[in-house]
Amino acid sequence: MQIVRYDWAEEEALKIYNMPLLELIYKAATVHRQFHDPSEVQLSSLLSIKTGACSEDCAYCPQAARYSTGIKIESLLPIEKVVESAKNAKLNGSTRFCMGAAWREIKDNDDFENVLEMVKAVNDLGMEVCCTLGMLTESQARRLKEAGLYAYNHNIDTSEEFYERIITTRTFQDRLRTLENVRKAGITVCCGGIIGMGESVKDRIKMLLTLSYLHPHPESVPINALVPIKGTPLGNRGIIQVWEMVRMIATARIMLPKSMVRLSAGRLQMSKEAQALCFLAGANSIFAGDKLLTTPNPEFNDDMKMLNLFGLRTRKAFKESENLQIN
Ligand code: SAM
Ligand code: DTB
Ligand code: SF4
């Protein structure tokens, strides 16, 4: 029996990641069955509510102002557009709706007031509302919670050591501080990272260790495969091998047994067979809808066909297993 642990050692985690592949998948699938209904997958929809012109230098990101990536810059969307998009997502079976803004941090201005209104409106639809708006303070987190925010996404992206090779305009510690503020406000934490940026296996493990030392563990852990974007410093990198994605998901499932592990960016480049292995290895959530924030995602109808083919059902909102535990 696996228990929820906060004391994983690096050696131990590396050993898990490097297990013979099929043994690793079997072990992760076993842990998955212990903590989750393996026939359920959560559908989450993403909407970019403010796009591009970001002041940060995240080497992977199409939305950083300093890279020329050809995306269409847009200021904050009107609330009606956001609600319409959330209603559509709900009709299609999404129970979680995540609004993303290309901000370094939240500022206490009209845009923030409008986002609070959006959170209220989407919460009123009975969906789990999630936001990813950059860094935030304790009082901003409290206001989001009061507006009905259920989850906040803020990724650590990689290991602390590799972080400064990817982003120089903020620190790993800044990221952790925001996560603490989110937790203190009683909002669930969505935090994961990206593989395929040139990091080593040790960096991947260190990222998972950092997540596993958060108490409680993040309720949701997105694992993204880098989507190389022309114009960004990582634009020429190749696509990560499926096996690495499977190993990462399986290791996350074992080390963070209660968390929802989300197979996030990069699905468009994966075959259905590869995605089946990811679900077997413990992924139990995906982003549904034809677009992530700025890049394409598989067609909604194709995803539904795939889930049907695998005999997977979509999960209801606010399920008990994701209940917030406050320290
Ligand atoms: N600006 C906010 C922030 O940085 O937290 C929120 C939006 S940001 C785009 C959300 C996450 O998307 C990033 O932390 C990163 O993990 C992921 N992401 C961005 N570009 C990506 C890419 N090209 N490939 C894979 N994941 C990506
Ligand atoms: C996460 O970890 N992945 C999502 C969500 N959280 C916000 C975003 C992926 C973005 C991929 C690049 C793009 O579409 O701009
Ligand atoms: Fe800005 Fe977020 Fe993109 Fe970094 S990941 S450049 S903070 S939108």
Domain extents for the chain?
38-316
Token pair 């290791």: residue: 251
* pLDDT tens digits for range 298-312: 988 899 999 999 999
Query: Residue 49 Cα, ligand 3 centroid: separation in angstroms?
Result: 13
More confident residue, 327 or 324: 324
Phi-psi region of 289 (alpha: psi -120 to 50; beta: other; left: phi over 0): left
**pTM to 2 decimal places:** 0.93
Q: Which two tokens stand for residue 155?
A: 């990724």
CA dist., res. 246 & res. 84, Å (int): 35
Section 228-237 average pLDDT: 94
Q: Is the pLDDT of residue 322 over 50?
A: no
User: According to the model, what pLDDT value does residue 96 have?
Assistant: 86
Question: How is residue 76 annotated by DSSP?
Answer: P
Q: Is the dihedral of CA 288, 233, 165, 55 positive or negative?
A: negative
Q: Is the pLDDT of residue 317 over 90?
A: no
Angle at CA 191, nearest 5°, toward 61 and 104?
45
CA dist., res. 280 & res. 283, Å (int): 7
Q: Which ligand is nearest to the CA of 234?
A: 1
Q: Is the pLDDT of residue 269 over 80?
A: yes
Section 207-215 average pLDDT: 97
Query: Residue 102 Cα, ligand 3 centroid: separation in angstroms?
Result: 6
- Say if ligand 1 is within 6 A of residue 134 CB: yes
Q: Which atom of ligand 3 is nearest to the CA of 167?
A: 4
Q: Any idea which residues carry the catalytic annotation?
A: 54, 58, 61, 98, 130, 190, 262
Share of the chain above pLDDT 90, in %: 83
User: According to the model, what pLDDT value does residue 326 have?
Assistant: 33
Nearest CA to ligand 1 atom 3: 134
At the top level of CATH, which class does the domain 38-316 belong to? alpha beta
Q: Is the pLDDT of residue 323 over 50?
A: no
pLDDT interval class at 197 (50, 70, 90): very high
Q: Which atom of ligand 2 is nearest to the CA of 100?
A: 7
Strands (E), the chain: 40-50, 96-101, 128-132, 151-153, 188-190, 193-195, 220-225, 260-263, 285-287, 313-314
